[in-house]
Amino acid sequence: MATKTMPPQTDSMKPIEVPTKRDWTKPAAMAIPKGGYFELKQGRYGPIFPRTPACHGFSVVAKVIPGREQAIREYGKKIEEAVKGDPSVLASLRLHYLRWILFDVGSGLHFMYQGIFDTDFDKYLEDAVALFAATGITTVFVNLEGWPEDWKTNLPAVIQFFRDHQCPSFLEYGEYPYATADEIKKALKVKAAFSEMLDLMQ
C-alpha cells in the first residue's frame, strides 16, 4: 500500500498558541498552513490534524466510478431513512455536520465528503468502519475510484484512502469556537427547560 512522504517541518508548521481556556462566546478564526497541520506530529495512522475553532473535520474529494451517480444519491436517502428510524445511529461518530456534494469540472464526476466532528481524524475513521460493520450498511465510498475492496477488514487501507484524498482547509472559523456537539445540545436543553419554567410561571 502506497504511503505519503511527509514534508519537512518549516516555520509555517510551527505550533500556534491555542488558549488553554477556550472561550466559546468569542468567534475565532484559524489560518492553517498548507498540508493541514502546524506541527508534524504522528498519530496512529499519520500526521495529526489540529483541532480548530470548528472542531475536527475533513474534506475528501474522489472521482466517482462511471455509472455510479444514482447509487450515491440513493445512498443519501438510505442515511436519511436510517437516522429517521434511529436518531442515534450515527452517534458514535460525534458529528456536528455532514455535507455531500457531487460535481464535475470537466474531468468526470467527483464526490466531496465534508464532515465536522468532535473526535480526531483517526478515531472518526475507526468508528465509521466499526459502525458500518455493526449495522451492515455499505459505505457510499464503494462507489469511488481507489476505494479498497477489503475495506471491512483493512482499516489502514481505508485511512490511507482518506489521507490520499483529503483536501486540507486553510481557514476555519467558529461562531462558538471549540464547543462540542454534546455541549451545544446540553445548552439547548437548558434553554428549553428554562423557557418551559418561564411559561409555567405566567
pLDDT in tens, 60-97: 999 999 999 999 999 999 999 999 999 999 999 999 99
The answer to whether position 21 is within a domain reads no
The answer to whether position 15 is within a domain reads no
Which of residues 45 and 20 earns the better pLDDT score? Answer: 45
Element (H or E) spanning 172, and its range? strand 171-174
The answer to whether position 184 is within a domain reads yes
> CA–CA separation, 155 vs 157, rounded Å?
5
Averaged pLDDT for residues 106-135: 90
The answer to whether position 6 is within a domain reads no
The answer to whether position 16 is within a domain reads no
The answer to whether position 155 is within a domain reads yes
Averaged pLDDT for residues 9-16: 43
What is the pLDDT at residue 196?
Answer: 81
> 111 - beta bridge partners?
62, 102
**Per the structure, how many domains does the chain have?**
1
The answer to whether position 18 is within a domain reads no
pLDDT averaged over every residue in the chain: 86
Q: How confident is the model at residue 48 (pLDDT cuts 50, 70, 90)?
A: confident
pTM recorded for the entire structure: 0.81
- DSSP letter for 14, please: S
What is the pLDDT at residue 21?
Answer: 62
The answer to whether position 11 is within a domain reads no
State the residue range of the domain holding 69: 26-201
Taking the mean position of all CA atoms in its chain, how far away is CA 191? 28
CATH number of the domain bearing residue 63:
3.30.70.1090
> CA–CA separation, 35 vs 13, rounded Å?
9
